[in-house]
Structure 1
Amino acid sequence: MFRHRLTRLLAPPVIIISFAHIAYAVLAIPSAQEVEATPAPLSNNVSTYATDLIYPRGLKFGPDGNLYVAESGNGGDVESMGTCENYTSPFTPYHPAMTARVTMIGPDGTQTIVADGMPSARDAYGDVVGSTDVAFIDDVLYVLNAGGGCSRGNPDAPTGVYRANTDASAEVVGDLSTFFPNNPSAAPLDDDYEPDGAANAMVAYDGKLYVVNANHATFEEVSLDGSIRRVLDISATEGHITPTALTLYEGNFYIGNLGVFPVDAGISKVYKVTPEGEIEVYAEGLTMVLGLAFDDQGQLYVLESSTADDEFPVAGAGRVVRVADDGTLDVIATGLSYPIGMTFGPDGFLYVSNYGYGGDPSAGE
């Protein structure tokens, strides 16, 4: 069984790593249930912050000081081969349902569901796609969801950006299930192409929302009026690198990529992308990048989901590193298992999603 938890890091630099359930943002990640391993122990600067989440993914602190965690849900019971025309997938059948949500965690640990009833789908291997990230604009919570659309058996609830209402319902703001197939990337993956993409991470900037699509290797801008614009087709210049992580610093975007399976240590990179879509390598020599965050000194922290030179991700092989000025990597925390998603809190600690893919959702802690 794999645990899902929020944890905090306490060693210098003082970092609270909250391990929330990670949203299944990358369709190429094998189920952790397939990988049997005894996890390496967590480094002593890591402690549990919150438990009992259902496959948490991306997480951010809101303007109210509370932590908001995207939870993918666990799909449903009915099988679906997808309803898209001319579509086949190695991940079918899916088991779709409207079980994805967002949970708010207060400073005292109290958990409140603040957005519910969004699409979720469990694939043939037990991995789940659902809510993957959160962001705020003018105190309003927006949710990125990757569990919708015809390819996952949720044709009436698209993959896209949702706005959370005060009654914990959620409504579509940006329909990515319509945009993605009508705007194909230059180098799509033929063997596991998903019409609905894999919207994996999101940030808010200047009144708009920005999204990375891991399955198509693209970067989109979503306006609150529902219009969507492609900022950059990453696949056109970098190939299909599976972009999975996103953060913002001083008006520029930073995108990290997953790499390939079997895991090939050191091939992942972080790219700096301007609002105009210009791209350059910012850091390299990384492995399975699934989270990025800058501290208030401008230092970049990178979440590596598994650094083991193995066929699949390995429990206990995840870590957080800091990119030094000369490009070398300083190890900050180790012993993480299947982590995905990372953010700084107002207290200066890092909060990280751990045990975010694979495993039994009822075992979350």
Structure 2
Amino acid sequence: MRSSSARRFSARSPLAALVLGGLLVGCTQAPTAQTPPRLVASGLNGPQGVYVAGDGSVWVSEDGLGGNTTFTAVGPGGPAQANYGDTARVVRVAPDGTQSVVASNPSVNVPGIGPTGGGKIAVIGSNVYVGNGVWNAAFSVPRPAKVAAVLRVGEGGSQEVANIFAFEAATNPDGVPPEQGGIDTHPYGLTAGPDGQLYVADAGANALFRVDPASGAVSLVASLAGLTGTGAQSVPTGVTFGNDGSLYVSLLSGGPFPSGAARVVRVSGGAVSDFATGMTMLTDVERGPDGKLYAVSFGRFDASSGGNPFVANAGSVIRLGTNGDRETVLSGLNYPTSIAFNADGDAFVAENGVGAPGSGRVMRYTGLTRYAAQ
């Protein structure tokens, strides 16, 4: 989840573009002791999305490492030689731990932002979907296929379902002018709706889109620009449906990612309102099997550190009450980007979403929905 695209970790950018780049219903007590987390998958290159299937398999999408095809991009430092290639993998982890690559999709590597590939994962029936890649109209070549798009992935590879960049180019819902990033899109957050449609939290376009997976038609649900006090760059990162049928979207906030600026907003009937505020650098929000919402905080930003401004081991998982109250249930995570649950309330968290190639992993936290507040 780099930060959104070239907007992600710039003034209009989110994660690295993420880096330069409730208790269970019926439960009244939290466990007296927590089971140590278990490693589910390793050797990943910037894991950004995680999904737990009914058969117990875990699907992971990653940013990848860019590629050998070069072009000129306009990033945080001005024009620079960028590259792309099919290194953003979607990996399936079988219940026995065997990892297999289901599809390899484009990864776009822009200097000052880093590689950007797969985002969150959603499933409708037997079809698996992923948002993939970032693209900006100022880049020197036309948008490659499967970039800034929603893809269907399966054992035969991937297929482009919807061209999000084309919709952004035609509508530019956040109205950001060219000198501030212009036409820029990063379909990062993704969820399946009860209506059979896909909903996309676009970290570059600062908008929530609806995609018809049958026709590929894209429509605007709501503009989410200007909601975090960081200019137009609110940087939507995660989206899920709550028990009330409303959509809930996590906002990373734009650089320099002030502490307390991130939030989760409710979108209902096209109207946008705050649900939970006062958080920092949110990269995901998901509904747990207990019906509660869980937000993922990437960590915090410290420009005065003199080194990497993204503070290590500062990430957390935050449980949100029905009135938006917050309680941290897991802390000390290193650059977490996404969370998924199985029916038992175990949480699967993608960690090391930025860092050295191969350092990404997915960890399983048994019974996280029953964790007490820290």
Pairwise same-fold verdict (TM > 0.5): yes
1:67 aligns with 2:32: no
**Alpha-carbon separation, structure 1, partners of 2:130 and 2:223:** 23
**Alpha-carbon separation, structure 1, partners of 2:267 and 2:320:** 17
Residue number among 256, 271, 284 corresponding to 1:278 in the alignment = 271
Note if contact 1:188-1:217 (Cα within 8 Å) is conserved in structure 2. Answer: no
Q: Which residue identity does 2:313 align to in structure 1?
A: G
**Alpha-carbon separation, structure 2, partners of 1:291 and 1:237:** 16
Note if contact 1:24-1:130 (Cα within 8 Å) is conserved in structure 2. Answer: no
Cα drift, residue 261 of structure 1: 2.8
Unpaired segments ≥5 residues, structure 1 = 1-21, 35-42, 83-87
Change (3 A) 1:186 1:261: closer
1:133 aligns with 2:124: no
Residue number among 311, 317, 320 corresponding to 2:317 in the alignment = 320
Percent identical across equivalent pairs?
26
1:104 aligns with 2:92: yes
Cα drift, residue 64 of structure 1: 3.2
- Report the 3-state secondary structure (helix = DSSP H, G, I; strand = E; otherwise coil) of the residue aligned with 1:306: coil
Note if contact 1:24-1:129 (Cα within 8 Å) is conserved in structure 2. Answer: no
Residue number among 285, 290, 304 corresponding to 2:297 in the alignment = 304
Cα drift, residue 49 of structure 1: 2.3
Report the counterpart of residue 76 of structure 2 in structure 1.
90
Cα drift, residue 185 of structure 1: 1.8
* TM-score w.r.t. length of structure 1: 0.81
1:311-362 deviations in Å (ceiling 9; x for gaps): 53200111112123554422211111111111112331111111102x2213
Note if contact 2:351-2:360 (Cα within 8 Å) is conserved in structure 1. Answer: no
**Alpha-carbon separation, structure 2, partners of 1:152 and 1:98:** 19
**Alpha-carbon separation, structure 2, partners of 1:341 and 1:192:** 28
**Alpha-carbon separation, structure 1, partners of 2:17 and 2:168:** 25
Residue number among 336, 339, 342 corresponding to 2:339 in the alignment = 342
Higher mean C-alpha deviation, range 313-322 or range 125-134: 125-134
Change (3 A) 1:299 1:361: same
Higher mean C-alpha deviation, range 286-295 or range 234-243: 234-243
Report the counterpart of residue 146 of structure 1 in structure 2.
133
Report the counterpart of residue 230 of structure 1 in structure 2.
220
- Report the 3-state secondary structure (helix = DSSP H, G, I; strand = E; otherwise coil) of the residue aligned with 2:72: coil
1:209 aligns with 2:198: yes
Q: What number of residue pairs does the alignment pair up?
A: 328
- Bigger strand share: 2
Q: Which residue identity does 1:79 align to in structure 2?
A: T
Report the counterpart of residue 261 of structure 1 in structure 2.
255
Residue number among 61, 77, 81 corresponding to 2:68 in the alignment = 77
Q: Which residue identity does 1:231 align to in structure 2?
A: V
**Alpha-carbon separation, structure 2, partners of 1:314 and 1:130:** 23
* TM-score w.r.t. length of structure 2: 0.79
Q: Which residue identity does 1:226 align to in structure 2?
A: G
1:115 aligns with 2:112: no
Report the counterpart of residue 18 of structure 1 in structure 2.
none
Note if contact 1:144-1:201 (Cα within 8 Å) is conserved in structure 2. Answer: yes
Note if contact 1:24-1:132 (Cα within 8 Å) is conserved in structure 2. Answer: no
Structure 2 counterparts to residues 153-172 of structure 1, below 5 A: 155-157=143-145, 158-167=147-156, 169-172=157-160
- Report the 3-state secondary structure (helix = DSSP H, G, I; strand = E; otherwise coil) of the residue aligned with 2:358: helix
Unpaired segments ≥5 residues, structure 2 = 10-14, 21-33, 362-374
1:290-326 deviations in Å (ceiling 9; x for gaps): 1112223322211111146555320011111212355
Structure 2 counterparts to residues 163-202 of structure 1, below 5 A: 163-167=152-156, 169-188=157-176, 192-193=180-181, 195-202=183-190
Higher mean C-alpha deviation, range 264-273 or range 91-100: 91-100
Cα drift, residue 252 of structure 1: 1.6
**Alpha-carbon separation, structure 2, partners of 1:57 and 1:33:** 12
Note if contact 2:222-2:270 (Cα within 8 Å) is conserved in structure 1. Answer: yes
Report the counterpart of residue 357 of structure 2 in structure 1.
361
RMSD between aligned alpha carbons? 2.8
Report the counterpart of residue 31 of structure 2 in structure 1.
none
**Alpha-carbon separation, structure 1, partners of 2:185 and 2:275:** 25
Report the counterpart of residue 364 of structure 2 in structure 1.
none
1:28-67 deviations in Å (ceiling 9; x for gaps): 1457988xxxxxxxx9854432211222111112243311
